[in-house]
Amino acid sequence: MLSNPLLQKWKTPFATPPFDLIEISHFKPAIEETIKSASKEIKIITENPEPPSFKNTIAALDLAGYRLGDITSILFNLNSAETSRELQAVAQEVSPLLTRFSNDITLNEKLFERVKSVYGSRNSAGLDTEMLMLLEKHYRNFILGGAGLDENKKSKFREISEELSMLTVKFEENVLEDTNLFELHLTEKDDLAGLPEGVTEMASMEAKNRKKDGWVFTLHFPSYVPFMKYSDKRELREKMFRAYSSRSFHNDKNDNKSLAFKIAGLRLEIAKILGFKNYAELALGDRMADSVIKVETFLEELHQASCPAARRDLENIVKLSVEQGLTGVPERWDWAYYSEKLQKIKFDIDDEVLRPYFVLENAETAIFDLATTLYGIKFKVNNQIPLYHPEVKTWEVIDKDGTFLAVLYIDYFPRNGKNGGAWMTSYREQRSDRNKDVRPLVSIVTNFTRPTETKPSLLSFNEVTTFLHEFGHALHGMLSKCTFEGLSGTNVARDFVELPSQFMENYAYEKEWLSSWAVHYKTGARIPGDIIKRIKESATFNEGYACNRQLGFSFLDMAWHTISAPVTEKITDFESAAMAKTELFPSVEGTNMSVSFGHIFGGGYAAGYYGYKWAEVLDADAFKHFKETGIFNRETALSFRKNILEKGGTDKPMNLYLSFRGKEPSIDAFLERSGLK
């Protein structure tokens, strides 16, 4: 055990994970060993002869097992960003062990009695707001962890939760494998009609990497999205669309139909064991929208606002497709293609006009500089920090007074071992340990357009906003200034967590910011003012359709998590019924969203996908305040930092927002920004 680097003190810069020493074989024994250590810490808390108090029970619980948490964060982050069959097997093996350990805590009667005792005397114990929030969180975790159940129900709870931990990991693995299995291999130049040079060059490089002639397109976003936007070959767009939309839906070993049914059914069973009608009722208790009716009312209100605009957007696309010679009605694989053409006609703008100005390295510098302008923080490259992949980059993040704040990792480009999409995560969260401020290790993982043999990485506009989005999450983690890890950084209500990220996206539409850094990669010419004007004007282009589509995903999420009995109908029928009010195209046989919906079946957004739209209302209102005071106003920014970014979950989200804004958010700013008002 002593030779296992995961169990040793990490003699690396800022005690970062020693990726250069860690092998896959180290994970399981290290996790087994740290579970034993953490169990001893829990036993000490449980058997403490002193009367239960916040310090000896709740604060002690928050610190217990932090080493285990640090190790498992490495495992599961690698399983998302740089996985392999061997690593996936380990993740499957240890998931039930970790769930069992978690259950051992929440189902420990003596420990729960101590927690319950502290909770019962909370109003007379002289606790501050942060302490009360942590106490409420732990008490809720015990209740939702089965602490109040009888022995038979506890046994069933253990069995179900351990099974769920394995199924959700398997769900994500299947989607990744199916994504990697498909390739569109083209050998005829005619099949490249409409595709920009940069897209075909990237496809040529992919073919060479696979030791093939011609061009290879994949289902990874930097390949898939441009193909769907620009390919003139409708039959090939259809082929790509069907491949993407049927991932894990082929009745083979990667099929996720049974997993979706099983996960939803087991979540319902756990909810009922705990006394809830459905899983959504269980999950929403600590959210800003704290009931099913509040979520459904919110979604319906937005649907009523966006539906007419969505239908108008579709009519515009139908009209253009007819004008351009399409026979019949447009199908789903035509949407991106004709949308891009219409945007070009209306605003003389598209990704290929913009990409030359959005060099990845320039965007990186600009986003760092924006953080410096707003919050005074600086970024210093550190090449001594061990990496899990050579493409990862690392920085020290330093406050305006020279204080070390965090380590930031960024991993930009798609690989076969990386899940699709983009996300922020951490290898260590901020906490206070015996009055020492332990600073976080934060990571951004994306799937951006790779550089080619002749061009640097040139981002699409969507990739620029994605970068800003994930960086907003990273700021939430890096600037955290909390006492307890359970409340620090992004450990906030699920429908509040997207506020810092979506807030940052607003800068992509601001001339003052874009003109400060966006220059043509060949000529060095600054992005013209009229292009920025057109970006701003096009901000609401097809926003009705986009809002409507995202609401469809939210309705689907809520449908899966408000079932009152296991789903017995066909998965396509269930999905169609859930999304019916937002569907504008006819269904496509052989495709299904649910089976690749990793956010809700593999990630943490079960009964929470609505949170993206909820947070958009908050971020539009917050940015309106910045617009009123100046988008780079340091005083407003420091208020946002102090009241939102530093605070984590140390108070109720609405209280935090009120401290920053001075009033409750209004939906009006969101409707105005989206062009829906």
Residue 20, number of CB atoms within 10 A of its CB: 10
470 catalytically annotated? yes
Among 281, 396, 470, 616, the active-site one is 470
**Hey, what are 567's tokens?**
């789903």
Query: 519: which DSSP letter?
Result: B
Query: What confidence score (pLDDT) does residue 2 get?
Result: 57
In whole angstroms, give the CA distance from residue 634 to residue 626. Answer: 10
In contact, 249 and 357? CB cutoff 8 Å = no
In whole angstroms, give the CA distance from residue 34 to residue 68. Answer: 5
In contact, 461 and 535? CB cutoff 8 Å = yes
Helix (H, G, I), strand (E, B) or coil at 398: strand
In contact, 229 and 337? CB cutoff 8 Å = yes
- Strand-pairing partners, residue 436, are 433
Query: What confidence score (pLDDT) does residue 677 get?
Result: 79
Chain CA centroid to CA 260, Å: 20
Angle at Cα 602 formed by Cα 613 and Cα 79, nearest 5°?
A: 120
In whole angstroms, give the CA distance from residue 164 to residue 158. Answer: 10
In whole angstroms, give the CA distance from residue 222 to residue 27. Answer: 32
How far from 379 is each of 423, 459, 468, 641, CA to CA, in Å?
Answer: 20, 22, 16, 17
Largest Cα–Cα separation, the chain: 82
- Strand-pairing partners, residue 411, are 445
In whole angstroms, give the CA distance from residue 278 to residue 191. Answer: 50
* Mean per-residue pLDDT pooled into runs of 10, the chain (677 residues): 86 97 97 98 98 98 95 97 97 97 97 98 97 98 97 97 97 97 98 97 97 98 97 98 98 98 98 98 96 97 96 97 94 98 96 96 98 98 98 98 98 96 97 93 97 96 98 98 97 96 98 98 97 96 96 98 97 98 96 98 95 96 96 98 98 97 93 90
In contact, 26 and 5? CB cutoff 8 Å = yes
* pTM of structure: 0.95
In contact, 218 and 224? CB cutoff 8 Å = yes
Query: What confidence score (pLDDT) does residue 435 get?
Result: 86
In whole angstroms, give the CA distance from residue 483 to residue 283. Answer: 25
- Name residue 603's amino acid: G
Residue 118, number of CB atoms within 10 A of its CB: 22
CA end-to-end distance (rounded Å), the chain? 63
In contact, 558 and 535? CB cutoff 8 Å = no
**Helix runs in 231-359, H state only:** 234-245, 257-273, 279-283, 292-323, 332-347, 351-354
**Hey, what are 668's tokens?**
């009006």
Query: What confidence score (pLDDT) does residue 74 get?
Result: 98
CA dihedral for 148, 150, 153, 154, sign (positive or negative): positive
Chain CA centroid to CA 564, Å: 28
In contact, 348 and 534? CB cutoff 8 Å = yes
Q: What domains lie within the chain, and their CATH numbers?
A: 5-106+108-144 (1.20.1050.40), 182-227 (no CATH), 356-543+611-673 (1.10.1370.40)
Q: Which residues contact 326 (CB under 8 A, 6 or more apart)?
A: 334, 338
